Structure 1
């Protein structure tokens, strides 16, 4: 879908911007590309499919596909049934992309941590496909952090990041998917910044009362998940100070 040097356009509520693709990241179905506009480099996530979730239909020749067809009383060689199933998957992907876009957008709009523990949100909008299509995929354009690497052995940064992750829920956000590949450190050789990415499945507080949000916070417990990652690396930390609530 994307290729190096390709130009793509994004439409926002105020204007249309054109970017050049410097690097598309694999797999394309997860749709993360490195963009350039003048001297600005950034990451774009056109959420045609949630980048953190597989959510892909089994191929027609896969045994699971045949079993599902039988379960739903579809004949494997019935073209109409196959078309209906494909349409259902398309509807599912569309719904999923919208949900991921809204979650990531709302999470990053809690700007107090942008540029430190999370990437800066540059703009949101929709990608204009190069050919005529009925759907313009929602897209998020984020700060590009070069030379970043996943989990490193740096106790000071771990402690600071653990405090920040503990504070997510006080800013009405639960990441819900903390793992070793979305905790990054930069620069690679002598890191001085740790940050989290991928908020496409975040739980964001909207109209929940205090009791309901506390249940959500305890259930996801991003800080506990982060500490478990560290324990797997043989690292134990204790955070004694709470970050102030905004």
Structure 2
């Protein structure tokens, strides 16, 4: 989804944090559009120092899934009325696989629309929680193999909303190039081995990334990379304390992070070391 004018350069985003409790105002440098599972912005705040940071806002209003427009799954634009309607059905039993747009469905169209809006809200909430849990579990990798998580909070929206919007603020990786665009000859065997060791370690640490793709691996500095960074854990999973080995193995098979990483490196013509 393309950036809304409310996220254009020069506009402000205000976040209420809890630990410590404060109100933080950031000025947007630029959005990372199109948006997918979160609104992603490069922004600055004097309270956080001179360097830019990344702000991720988990707002169902801008989910890319709203734009899917196929038979039995029309695009579903956001409205405040629909967002308010979710509260009335929030405690009702719900499962995504029962959502469809069958014209013979006896439920009224407004009920189906509210159920879809509930799904979008649940998806945004899950993405925020997955990101936070993954960064907590991988905290010793922050600042090296993954960005530093600086703070979490809720956004004070610029217009009327019927829900709280969760957000994270994290380290911005400057002068970076994604795996999609990095020249293969600048990725040294040592850097490639480091990347594979990091991704392989996710499973041992109880984390599935779940979205290893060209854009979620960054190399910096771009001309002669010395650091590789894996970003965006919003589609991932973290092993729960009561999750048994069989259930966790299903998560690992679903995510398949290590295989995906090696496959992408091979497709880019980067030699994959044995690690």
| Gap regions ≥5 residues in structure 1 | 75-79, 241-246
Are the counterparts in 2 of residues 2 and 28 from structure 1 also a CA contact under 8 Å? no
Pairwise mapping of residues 94-109 of structure 1 onto structure 2 (< 5 A)?
94-109=121-136
Among 173, 188, 191, the residue aligned to 2:222: 188
- Give the structure 2 partner of residue 217 of structure 1: 252
Cα distance between partner residues in 2 of 1:215 and 1:7: 42
Q: 1:200 to 1:71 in 2, by over 3 A?
A: farther
> Is 1:42 matched up with 2:70?
no
Among 4, 13, 30, the residue aligned to 2:9: 4
> Is 1:131 matched up with 2:142?
no
Cα distance between partner residues in 2 of 1:220 and 1:68: 29
**1:165 is paired with a residue of what secondary structure?**
helix
- Give the structure 1 partner of residue 30 of structure 2: 23
Q: 1:71 to 1:162 in 2, by over 3 A?
A: farther
Cα distance between partner residues in 1 of 2:11 and 2:132: 25
Deviations, residues 110-145 of structure 1 (Å, cap 9, x unaligned): 211001111110111111101232212111111011
Deviations, residues 158-195 of structure 1 (Å, cap 9, x unaligned): 11100110001122111011111111101111111001
Q: 1:180 to 1:28 in 2, by over 3 A?
A: closer
Q: 1:212 to 1:69 in 2, by over 3 A?
A: closer
| Gap regions ≥5 residues in structure 2 | 1-5, 75-99
Deviations, residues 58-78 of structure 1 (Å, cap 9, x unaligned): 45xx6545793415257xxxx
Count of matched residue pairs: 231
**1:140 is paired with a residue of what secondary structure?**
strand
Cα distance between partner residues in 2 of 1:65 and 1:73: 17
| Root-mean-square deviation over aligned CA pairs | 2.4
Are the counterparts in 2 of residues 120 and 142 from structure 1 also a CA contact under 8 Å? yes
Are the counterparts in 1 of residues 192 and 273 from structure 2 also a CA contact under 8 Å? no
Pairwise mapping of residues 55-204 of structure 1 onto structure 2 (< 5 A)?
55-56=65-66, 58=68, 63-65=71-73, 68-72=101-105, 81=109, 83-110=110-137, 111-151=139-179, 152=182, 153=184, 154=187, 155-204=189-238
Q: 1:58 to 1:210 in 2, by over 3 A?
A: closer
Cα distance between partner residues in 1 of 2:15 and 2:51: 15
The normalised TM-score by structure 2 is 0.76
The normalised TM-score by structure 1 is 0.84
